[in-house]
């Protein structure tokens, strides 16, 4: 029998389609070595440490600085989905999509609409959790499934959706920030630091990154109980409630122009530094932040050092002794590369 997974997300906001399991716990250094040897990162987990001061400061600063815009983007995206689909169901991609889906469900409820929300796992290399997806389909026959994420980087998750969904499920991706230009529904194509990019489990119900515990079974996560004193999940959802409250169901979606080949530009910038493996290149301020939180960064490439959304990256880079390069024509605010062996 699957073990129920505990979390601190309100049950009325989301149905969590994940099992509890005990993953293979490794350090960041062990993880990097195992990934280089061919082990899938989806089988490994590094226990999360309490957020560093730079992370917590970045979260609160982004909430203050970008919060009003984030509230508007949430309303615009939610309104667009409700206008476009008669019976949409949100399927957020754990974890970056989970708080977004919770906030969208709350917003729709305020407008008098029921917008069901489930969260499940997708892992590059393994694809979507088909067992969890089948449970969502069984709960909502005939509904249109909308896959929700926070932001895009290279567009890898969109590729994983297209490559792993059943033939009868279209890969409809909806995100707040889409600098990769791949989402069908994007609140903006600009590169934006969403507040929850600065933190991990502590803004997502204490859920760990998802992993494959047993091949062929439902994907799993673990509860990061040691981080309970640092949990800001409720704080974040209440803040998003307040920030989206001024906007109504007639909020227009104005994402701006879709970027042209931004990923290729990021890969060229990394190649100029000697990194030719695309898996080691993470474009976008959200993805670059995650590299500093979960991987071993090798280099930070910035469009410029003055933008407020990248100040935490400069701090993290200084602390980690990671070199920083500026490239003014970079289509993303930031690109981080991951340390690796010789290519």
CATH number at 270 reads 3.30.1330.30
Q: Do 200 and 58 belong together in one domain?
A: yes
6 lies in some domain: no
* pLDDT tens string 25-42: 777 777 677 667 666 666
Q: Do 225 and 168 belong together in one domain?
A: yes
- Distance, C-alpha 117 to centroid of its chain: 16
Per-residue exposure over 235-255, b if at least 16 CB sit within 10 Å of its own CB, e if not:
ebbebbbebbeebeeebebeb
pLDDT at res. 34: 63
Question: If DSSP codes are grouped into helix, strand and coil, which group holds residue 215?
Answer: coil
How distant, in Å, are the alpha carbons of 9, 40, 112, 291 from that of 170?
28, 26, 27, 30
* pLDDT tens string 174-204: 999 999 999 999 999 999 999 999 999 999 9
81: preceding bond cis by omega (within 30 degrees): no
Q: Do 125 and 273 belong together in one domain?
A: no
Q: Do 204 and 76 belong together in one domain?
A: yes
* Total number of domains in the chain: 2
Q: Which of 244, 273, 296 is the last residue of a domain?
A: 244
Q: Do 297 and 231 belong together in one domain?
A: no
Per-residue exposure over 165-191, b if at least 16 CB sit within 10 Å of its own CB, e if not:
beeebebbbbbbbbbbbbbebbbbbbb
pLDDT at res. 40: 65
pLDDT at res. 39: 64
Q: Do 223 and 126 belong together in one domain?
A: yes
Contacts of 272 (CB under 8 A, 6+ apart): none
pLDDT at res. 320: 94
Contacts of 28 (CB under 8 A, 6+ apart): 46, 294, 295, 296
Residues 115 and 318: their CA atoms lie apart, in Å, by: 43
- What domain range is 333 assigned to? 262-338
**CA-based R_g, the chain, Å:** 19
Residues 286 and 289: their CA atoms lie apart, in Å, by: 5
Residues 340 and 335: their CA atoms lie apart, in Å, by: 16
214 lies in some domain: yes
Q: Do 121 and 151 belong together in one domain?
A: yes
Q: Do 73 and 222 belong together in one domain?
A: yes
Q: Do 232 and 270 belong together in one domain?
A: no
Q: Which residues of the chain have pLDDT under 50?
A: 342-343
pLDDT at res. 41: 60
Residues 199 and 289: their CA atoms lie apart, in Å, by: 9
pLDDT at res. 343: 36
How crowded is residue 102: how many other Cβ atoms within 10 Å of its Cβ? 27
Residue 128 φ/ψ, nearest 5 degrees: -70, 150
């Amino acid at each position: 029998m699957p073990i129920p997974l505990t979390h601190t997300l309100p049950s009325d906001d989301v149905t969590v389609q994940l099992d509890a399991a005990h993953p293979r716990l490794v350090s960041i250094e062990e993880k990097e070595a195992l990934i280089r040897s061919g082990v899938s990162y989806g089988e490994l987990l590094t226990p999360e440490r309490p957020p560093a001061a730079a992370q917590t400061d970045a979260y609160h600063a982004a909430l203050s600085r970008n919060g009003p815009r984030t509230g508007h983007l949430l309303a615009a995206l939610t309104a667009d989905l409700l206008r476009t689909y008669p019976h949409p169901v949100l399927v957020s991609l754990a974890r970056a999509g989970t708080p977004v889906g919770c906030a969208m469900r709350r917003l729709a409820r305020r407008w008098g609409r029921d917008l069901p929300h489930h969260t499940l796992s997708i892992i590059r290399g393994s694809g979507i959790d088909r067992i969890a997806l089948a449970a969502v389909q069984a709960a909502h026959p005939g509904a249109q499934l909308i896959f929700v994420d926070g932001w895009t980087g290279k567009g890898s998750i969109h590729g994983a959706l297209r490559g792993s969904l059943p033939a009868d499920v279209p890969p409809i991706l909806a995100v707040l920030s889409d600098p990769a230009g791949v989402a069908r529904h994007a609140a903006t194509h600009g590169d934006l630091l969403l507040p929850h990019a600065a933190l991990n489990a502590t803004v997502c119900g204490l859920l760990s990154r998802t992993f494959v515990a047993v091949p062929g079974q439902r994907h799993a996560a673990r509860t990061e109980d040691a981080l309970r004193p640092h949990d800001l999940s409720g704080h974040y959802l209440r803040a998003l409630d307040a920030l989206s409250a001024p906007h109504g169901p007639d909020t227009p979606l104005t994402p701006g122009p879709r970027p042209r080949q931004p990923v290729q530009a990021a890969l060229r910038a990394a190649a100029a530094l000697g990194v030719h493996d695309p898996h080691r290149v993470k474009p976008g301020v959200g993805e670059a932040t995650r590299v500093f939180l979960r991987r071993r960064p090798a280099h930070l490439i910035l469009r410029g050092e003055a933008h407020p959304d990248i100040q935490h990256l400069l701090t993290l880079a200084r602390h980690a002794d990671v070199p920083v390069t500026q490239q003014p024509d970079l289509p993303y605010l930031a690109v981080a590369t991951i340390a690796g062996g010789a290519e």
